[in-house]
Amino acid sequence: MTRYLELVCPAGTPAALRVAVDAGADTVYCGFQDCTNARNYPGLNFTREDLRGGIAYAHARSCRVFVAVNTFPRAGDFGPWQRAIDDAAACGADAVILADLGVLDYATCRHPNLRRHLSVQAAAASPLGIRFYRDAFGISRVVLPRVLSVEEVAALIGQTGVEAEVFTFGSLGTMVEGRCFLSSYMTGRSPSSDGVCAPAECVSYREDGDRLVSCLGDVMINRFASDEPAAYPTPCKGRFLVHGRPSYLFEEPTGLNVIPLLAELKAAGVTALKIEGRQRSRTYVATVVTAFRRVLDALAEGASPAPMPDVLRAVAEGGRETFGAYAKGWR
Amino acid sequence: MAETEFPVLLATNVLGLLPAPALTRATALLMRRFGRTYPRLFRALAGHEPCTIGIEPTDLAHRFVLRFGGTPVSLVPTLTLEQPLNACVRGRLATLVGLLEGRLDSDALFFSREIVITGEMEAIVSLRNALDRETVNVFQAATALFGPVGHPVRRVALMLERRLAAAHQRLTMRHEALHAARREEHSIATYCARQEAELQALRTRIAKIEAQTRRRNPIGAVT
């Protein structure tokens, strides 16, 4: 069967990688157990041995594995990022997903034959920016930020000639990615360098009567009524008091799902679809990858995909779905 | 029901009947079995900072305290969760077992409020991620405690679960029928009350008309 669009799926653990491969992922992306990737949560991610085993499992089933080394090295501490690139290459990764200029340069010089993808953390959203990364570091693909409409995605692809990967399901990120400091102000740890937004050790929940209160450090992030869906305790999804009224200023707790826009994204020239959620369980991975595989196979055969069951809404943050910026209703 | 699924109705009934010392002993044996079957999971938990998590099945009288990090992993039943805890997880037994076995997505359950998690998240996230690496099977581990008769025990348990499920379904249907009848009774009573009020209003109106007629035609009223 002709591939309609490449399906790039998350894996936070070796078990999730196997589930993603078995559910029909074309590619799985993952990261090491340290600050070199943007999902540095306790107990998550891959050891070098895990990665070797995962790559062998995936390759045996014609599935590729990308390794995210997409955080920004701290001053004077480039070692973990160098080792991550070298080890990803040694383990047989099909590509590395990078954001920092130094890391990109290191990978280009040391492993010229290893595919380099530009991470969403680089927030490259202009033709000039993407062309710079293409010309300077030979990037093969750019993961586009989640702030672009379908028309803007099409225009960027037309002006850069670089493969584009776009987010299609999972948590939203409408800030300038890789440059968000909201969480750092509250916790002292940086999403961009420590790889963790709202670090687990700073998050707590407590019950206040029939309400659930989420806190990040000493800051109350949100308060949910008993009949209200809960959300992640990240500052961008917090409720803020404005003129005495609590409201979502940055993002509401809702999940991205652009299945109805897949034909438009293909027509725009998109190469690959990314599912967000390395921090999620293997059940989430199985559910979402299976659903997308079915839809993509139907589209590849020229059929209309069957209406989406509620299973995807059930795993979406806040139990609600949105087209995000692709439809630009919020601007 | 497949053998890999957990007989939750049976478990709820059995656990509800077990006296505390027997439950403590059974839980200790189960944890020892888990340690042998999932050594990687136990190694991952042992490497964590010392941590105490309360587990509160909403459909059981018992609560559980899970300890890991520094000391051997332990799960101890208790009637109340009064000791200092790092975090607490609350939900139906079937949901909690589903989480333990990695069959359910914890984030989705949290969003929908089917589980309530309170306290520090670091321990909970570590536990969830350690569990997600394994394919834990609680039912298999529990029946393996019976040694060579584990397989027949499994079959009997599944048969009992099917019967309990059928009985539960019958009970639910009867309960629903009873409620429907009550709703009907209630609607008849409401209807009668409304009719009575209307009748009373009509009587009042007739009385007023009669009074007016008498005022307008006093002779006629006399005759």
**Residue ranges of the domains in chain A?**
6-174+254-326, 195-248
Rg (CA), chain B: 31
State the pLDDT at residue A1: 65
User: Does the CB of B130 have a partner CB in chain A at under 8 Å?
Assistant: yes
What topology is assigned to A6-174+254-326 in CATH?
TIM Barrel (3.20.20)
User: Does the CB of A43 have a partner CB in chain B at under 8 Å?
Assistant: yes
User: Does the CB of A42 have a partner CB in chain B at under 8 Å?
Assistant: yes
Outline where DSSP puts E strands in chain A.
Answer: 6-10, 27-30, 64-69, 95-98, 115-118, 141-143, 163-171, 203-208, 211-216, 219-224, 239-242, 245-248, 255-257, 272-275, 321-322
Query: Of 3.30.1050.10, 3.90.110.10, 3.90.1150.10, 3.40.190.10, which CATH number belongs to B8-145?
Result: 3.30.1050.10
* Residue with tokens 């200092």, as numbered in its chain: B84
CB contacts of B135 in chain A (<8 Å) are 15
User: Does the CB of A282 have a partner CB in chain B at under 8 Å?
Assistant: yes
CB contacts of A204 in chain B (<8 Å) are 118-121
Lowest pLDDT segment from A61-65, A172-176, B157-161: A172-176
User: Given B118, B120, B129, which is nearest A41 (Cβ)?
Assistant: B129
State the pLDDT at residue A51: 98
User: Does the CB of A44 have a partner CB in chain B at under 8 Å?
Assistant: yes
User: Given A16, A44, A212, which is nearest B116 (Cβ)?
Assistant: A212
Predicted structure pTM score? 0.87
State the pLDDT at residue B189: 81
State the pLDDT at residue B71: 85
Q: What is the DSSP letter of A259?
A: G
Confidence grade of residue B3 (pLDDT, cut at 50, 70, 90): very low
Separation of alpha carbons B107 and B4, rounded Å: 23
Separation of alpha carbons B57 and B79, rounded Å: 11
Separation of alpha carbons A225 and A233, rounded Å: 15
- β A6-10/A27-30 pair status: parallel
B222 pLDDT more than 50? no
Beta-carbon separation of A206 and B118 below 8 A: yes
User: Does the CB of B137 have a partner CB in chain A at under 8 Å?
Assistant: no
Confidence grade of residue A204 (pLDDT, cut at 50, 70, 90): very high
Query: What ipTM was estimated for this complex?
Result: 0.90
- Classify burial at A50, counting beta carbons within 10 Å of its beta carbon; exposed 0-12, middle 13-18, buried 19 or more: buried
User: Does the CB of A315 have a partner CB in chain B at under 8 Å?
Assistant: yes
B171 pLDDT more than 50? yes
Contact status, residue A271 vs residue A262, Cβ threshold 8 Å: no
User: Does the CB of A221 have a partner CB in chain B at under 8 Å?
Assistant: no
B223 pLDDT more than 60? no
Residue type, B151: H
Render pLDDT for A106-147 as a digit per residue (tens, 0 to 9).
999 999 999 999 999 999 999 999 999 999 999 999 999 998
CB contacts of A12 in chain B (<8 Å) are 129, 132
| Chain B closest-CA separation from residue A151 CA (Å) | 32
Structural domain boundaries in chain B: 8-145, 174-222
Beta-carbon separation of A315 and B108 below 8 A: yes
φ, ψ dihedrals at A161, nearest 5°: 70, 20
Enumerate residues 42 to 61 of chain B having a beta carbon within 8 A of any beta carbon in chain A. 44, 48
State the pLDDT at residue B2: 44
